[in-house]
Amino acid sequence: MTPPFKLQSSDCDHGNVLFTATPELTHHGKETCLDCGKFLRWVPKPETLERDKENARKIELLKTKPLGDWEKGFLLNLEKQGRHFSPKQQDKLDELIKRYE
């Protein structure tokens, strides 16, 4: 049986990308190279991207407020972490927003 993809090529520039929806998985979909078959990346769900943007906006807003030392450290930690906060971190961020808005 012939595999659906060519063997991976080290000189592929991944110009032809195939998006495949993965509704049964955590991710919105995946991208693979049509030329060599290499997996390129998982594509996050649109709502995840929107939540990440909203969290970044919240952090920037809170940085302008008169925060305590612990709160400042918490925000710095979130910024270093990037995205995908734990449920407890998300709850704390939302709590700070309610307190300082």
> Of 16-20, 43-47, 68-72, 80-84, which range is least confident?
80-84
- pTM equals 0.66
pLDDT digits (tens, 9 = 90+) for 4-14: 444 444 457 77
Distance CA 39, CA 69 (A): 43
Is residue 1 very low, low, confident or very high in pLDDT (cuts 50, 70, 90)?
Answer: very low
Instruction: Give the containing element (helix H, strand E) for 32.
Output: strand 29-33
> Of 7-21, 35-49, 79-93, which range is least confident?
7-21
pLDDT at residue 101 in the model: 81
Could you tell me the CA-to-CA distances from 17 to 40, 69, 91 in Å, in that order? 8, 46, 37
pLDDT at residue 11 in the model: 55
Joined tokens for residue 61: 């807003």
- Is 32:38 a contact under the CB 8 Å cutoff? yes
Residue 88 scores a pLDDT above 90: yes
